[in-house]
Each structure stands twice: as C-alpha cells, then as structure tokens.
Amino acid sequence: MRQGEILGLSWPDIDWENGSLYLHQQLQQYLTRGDCNCYLTSLKNGKTRTVTIAPTVLQILREQRLIQNKQRIAAGPMWENEYNLVFTNEFGKPLNRRTVYKHLKKILSGIGLDDCYFHTLRHTFATLSLQNGDDVLTVKENLGHHSAAFTLNTYGHLTQAMRRDSAERMEKLIQTTVISKNA
C-alpha cells in the first residue's frame, strides 16, 4: 500500500471475516504552508481494490484496534476521529505523513537500511511477491496498477535465484515427462 492509502485506511474498510482490506481512499494533506489539515481523496488511479492480507497483518490490526480503543478512553472528550481511521495519534487525529516518515527512517536506519524510503517498501513487497511465486496479475492487483506490463516493467527485477528456480521447475517438468513417457 502507498503511504496515503495506509494513513487513509478506516475501520469499516477491514473485512475481518475474509481477511481483506477494501481500498478506496487515501489521506492527503493540504500543501498550503502552515496548514496541517488533512482530507480524504480517491486512490491514485481512481480505482478501488481489495487486498487479501496475511493472518499476521490481520492480528496486528486487531491489536491496533485495542490500542486505539485505550487511547479513545484516555482522551475522553478530546477524542476526534472524524474519518474512523485505523492509524491516528493519541487524540484520534490523522497521523502526519512527515511524522510517520521520520519514525520510519529512524527504524530503517536502526537496522542498517539508511537508503530506504517509504515507497521502497512497495518495491520490496512486489519483488518478494514475484520471487515467491505470486503471479504478476495478483501482484498488479495488490499494488493497484493499471496493467501487468507496468508492474513487470517497474518491479519485475529478475534475480539469479528466480532464474535458477525457473530452470529447476523446467527440469522437474522434463524429468516427469521423460519418466512418464518411458514407463
């Protein structure tokens, strides 16, 4: 997900039963100097998408809900989550993208990834998905791209391991075909 999509995720957009997210909006900030207000807008390409998420991610979202409920109780009448967002500050206000970025950079730097940015996480997700056998159409849908060709051109960095895996799969196919033909 893009940073704005994550920050714009609202609780009703989570399908707990099916383990998926319905993405249809992103959180943006006004670009006027001194104006830190936010607004919701449609996704980058204007298309909605549903993303099936890993059970671990679903569990993290459950934990986030508990944290947010505690924050809501502690904030009392100062709680103000007008968009019903999943990720807010301790008073229910939308998170500032620059603050999120600053904290992410601190975490990444702490694990030796100083050159990474928020969008790098999308690149990594796409590459790992492809390396682990996800088909390009699934990756395209998960990323919200307009075409599979764009996904491959942008994220389809073939690695030596991917080429080796391909050769091994072909070898298994050949051996299976030769053995079954000779049997």
d(CA 79, CA 73): 8
12 lies in the same domain as 71: yes
Q: Are residues 43 and 133 located together in one domain of the fold?
A: no
Q: Which of 112, 141, 173 is the last residue of a domain?
A: 112
Residue 131: count of CB within 10 angstroms of its CB: 14
Q: What are the tens digits of pLDDT across the range 51-110?
A: 999 999 999 999 999 999 999 999 999 999 999 999 999 999 999 988 999 999 999 899
Domain count, the chain: 2
Extended beta strands in the chain, E state: 14-15, 20-23, 26-29, 38-41, 49-52
Share of the chain above pLDDT 90, in %: 50
Q: Are residues 21 and 96 in the same domain?
A: yes
pLDDT of 4 above 80: yes
pLDDT value at 11 more than 70: yes
Statement to judge: residues 71 and 139 lie in one domain: no
How many helices (H) and strands (E) are present in the chain, helices listed first?
7, 5
Assess whether 106 and 121 both reside in one domain.
Answer: no
Bridge partners (DSSP) listed for residue 39: 28
| 116-127 pLDDT, tens digit each | 888 888 888 888
Confidence of residue 31 (pLDDT cuts 50, 70, 90): confident
Tell me the C-alpha to C-alpha distance, in Å, between residue 59 and each of 15, 19, 77: 13, 10, 28
Residues 126 and 97 in one domain: no
Looking at the fold, whether 101 and 65 belong to one and the same domain comes out as yes
Residues 153 and 101 in one domain: no
The amino acid at 112: G
Domain termination site, one of 70, 95, 112: 112
Mean pLDDT of 146-170: 77
Do residue 71 and residue 16 come from a single domain? yes
- Asked whether residue 150 falls in the same domain as residue 95, the answer is no
Q: What's the rounded Cα separation, in Å, for the pair 26 and 65? A: 19
Task: Choose one of 90, 112, 134: the last residue of a domain.
Answer: 112
Q: Whole-structure pTM over 0.95, yes or no?
A: no
pLDDT-derived band at 136, boundaries 50, 70, 90: confident
Owning domain of residue 41: 1-112
Measuring CA to CA, which residue among 75, 77, 67 is closest to residue 91? 75
With 0-12 / 13-18 / 19 or more C-beta atoms within 10 angstroms meaning exposed / middle / buried, residue 85 is: buried
Return the CATH number at 7. 1.10.443.10
- Label residue 160 by pLDDT band (50, 70, 90): low
